[in-house]
Amino acid sequence: MENKRGSWASNLGFLMAAIGSAVGLGNIWGFPNKMGAGGGFTFLVVYLFLAVFVGMPIMVSELAMGRKTGRGIIGAYKKATKKFRWLGWLGVLAPFLIMSFYSVLGGYCLQYMSLNLAELSFGLSGIFGATITGGDTFASMLTNPFGCVIFTLLFLAICMIIVKGGISGGIEKFNKVGMPALFVMLLIVIIRSVTLPGAEEGLKFMFIPGYAVEAGFIAEAPSFIKVVGSAGGQMFFSLSLAMGAMITYGSYLSKDESLTKNSLIIVTSDTIIALMAGFAVLPAAVANSMASGIPNNEMVLGGPKLLFITLQDVFSNMGPTGPLFGVLFYLLVVIAAITSAISLMEVIATLFLDRAHDAGKEGNRTKVTLWVSFAITIEAILVAVCGLGENGIAPAALLGKDIMSSPVLMDCWLDFMDCWSEGLAMPIGAMLMSVMVAAELKPKYILEEVNGNKPGFFFWFYRICIILIAPVVMALVLAGQIVAFFTNVDGSNAASVETISYIVSFIILVVGYIYAIVGNKKEARV
C-alpha cells in the first residue's frame, strides 16, 4: 500500500466487495435452516424487520466511521472516542479468531470440489466399486489431518495472494468476477434443486408458518423471543457487522458515494442471496432425505453436516450429472468463503498498514500480508488437526472432560474459536458501538458524515434505531449466543444458562450506557 492511502476504483467494486464480505458460509448452511425452524415466513418477516431497523443503522455507522476517519477499525475508534477506543480491539480479535476456522471450512470446500471434479473426470466411484457417500467422505476427511491442513493452506494462500494485491488491484478485481460468477452458479443449482422429486417439502419447510412442526421436522415451535434472537443473530453475522470489515472497507470509500444507498444495496443483496441459498439447499436436502427413507425429525438441515454430508449425498444420487453439480456448488461455496475471508484478512492487514502510514512510512503490503497469513496459519492448523473433535484434541478432551457433559464451546476447537469471536466479541462490540454512538458521540457524529446532519426521514429513522432498537436487539443476540455456546452438549444445563444469559446481556447493556453517559463531555475527535 502506498503512502497515499488506497481507494476503490469504483463504487461498483466497493459494492461487490462489501456484498462478498456479507455473503459467506452462514448464508448457505445457516439461513435456510433457521428460517424453517423459526416458523418459515414468520422468521423471514422478523429477519427483514431486524435487517432494516438494526442491520442498516449499524452498517451505516460502521461505513461512516471508516470513511470519516480514513482509518481501519483501531484507528477509527481511536479518532472517534476516548472512552470506547478499546472497543476497536474486539473488532480485530473477532476476524483473527474467525479466520482460524473459516480457512479450515474453506479448505473443506476445496476438498469436496476436488472430490467431485475427480469423480467427474475419472469416475472414481466406479473404479473403487462404491458410491461416494457424504457421511463416509466427511468422516474420512476429518480423521485425515494432513489432508485438511494442506487444503487449509491452499485456501489461505489464495486469500493471501488476493489481499496482497491491495484494495483495487486485488480485493476489488476478485469480487467483480467472483460475485457475478457466484450468482450465476447459484441460479443453476437452484434450477436443479427445485426440480428434484419431493423438493416442494423443502420449500414448505422454509416458507409455510408452522409447517416445520406439522410435518415433524422439529418437535415444537420456538417462542417469539427465540425467533427474534435467532433472526437477529443470523442477520448480524450474515451482514459482517462488528468484525471491522465494513469500517475498513468504508475507510477506502470516496466521499462522493451515498452511504445510505450503498448500505441498502448491501443489506438487500445479502438477503436475496441468503434466500437463493435456501432455494438451492433445502429442497435438495429434504428431497434426497425423503428418497433415502430418513424421517423428517432426523434430517440434517443445517450446519457443516448439511454442507458436507447431506448435500454430497444429493450429488452422489443424481447419477452422471451429480459430480458436475457438485463441482458447481462447492465452487460457488469456495467463492463465497473467499470473498468473506479476504475482508477479514484485510481488517488485520489494514491495522498494520495504517500504523506505518501514521508514522510517515510507506507500508509494505506484501510483508504485512505474509505475516498476517502466517499468524492465521498457526491457529488454523490447530482447528484443522482437531477435525471437529474427532481426533482427540478438543478442549474438553485435553482437560480430561466428557465432551457430552461439557459446554458446546469445548467440544472442538472450531466451536471454541467461534464462541470467543462470533459468539461474544462481535455482539458485545456491536451493542457497545451503538451505545457509544447513542450516548457518548451522539447520532450527530455519524449523521454529519452521512448527509450533513440534515433533518429528514433518515435523520429520524437513524436516531430512533441506534438509540432505542439496536442496543436492545443486540443484547438479545448476545443472550442467544451465550445460550448456544455455554449450554452443555447434552442440554443438561439449558434452563439455568438461558436465565443467566439474559441477566448478563442486559447488565452489560446497562453498564455500557452508564459508562457512556457519566462524565460525558460530548467530545469527539476526528
276/269 Cα distance (integer angstroms) = 10
Cβ-contact 51, 239 below 8 angstroms: yes
Q: Any idea where the domains of the chain sit in the sequence?
A: 11-419
Q: Euclidean distance between the first and final Cα of the chain, in Å?
A: 23
Instruction: Compute the average pLDDT of residues 35-44.
Output: 78
Under the banding of pLDDT at 50, 70 and 90, the label for residue 242 is: confident
DSSP reduced 3-state for 455: coil
- Predicted confidence (pLDDT) at residue 315 exceeds the cutoff of 90: no
509/474 Cα distance (integer angstroms) = 9
Instruction: Compute the average pLDDT of residues 363-392.
Output: 94
156/102 Cα distance (integer angstroms) = 10
Predicted confidence at residue 4, as pLDDT, reads 54
Cβ-contact 315, 84 below 8 angstroms: no
Segment 138-147, tens digit of pLDDT: 888 999 999 9
Predicted confidence at residue 147, as pLDDT, reads 93
- Predicted confidence (pLDDT) at residue 377 exceeds the cutoff of 90: yes
- Predicted confidence (pLDDT) at residue 346 exceeds the cutoff of 90: yes
Whole-prediction pTM:
0.90
Mean pLDDT, the chain, rounded, equals 88
- Predicted confidence (pLDDT) at residue 293 exceeds the cutoff of 90: no
Predicted confidence at residue 521, as pLDDT, reads 57
- Predicted confidence (pLDDT) at residue 328 exceeds the cutoff of 50: yes
Q: Phi and psi for 193 in degrees, rounded to 5?
A: -65, -50
Which residues have a Cβ under 8 Å from the Cβ of 135 and sit 6 or more positions away?
A: 309, 313
Segment 273-284, tens digit of pLDDT: 888 888 888 888
CATH 1.10.4160 fits domain 11-419: yes
Number of C-alpha atoms within 13 angstroms, CB side, residue 448? Answer: 11
Predicted confidence at residue 345, as pLDDT, reads 95
Cβ-contact 162, 174 below 8 angstroms: yes
If one counts every other C-beta atom within 10 angstroms of the C-beta of residue 498, the result is 16
C-alpha cell at 28: 448457505
Q: Report DSSP state, residue 122.
A: H
Instruction: Compute the average pLDDT of residues 383-395.
Output: 94
Q: Position 356: which residue type?
A: A
Number of C-alpha atoms within 13 angstroms, CB side, residue 494? Answer: 5
Query: What CA–CA distances, in Å, run from 149 to 118, 378, 439, 457?
Result: 20, 11, 46, 51
Please state which of the ranges 65-74, 373-382, 512-521 shows the lowest mean pLDDT: 512-521
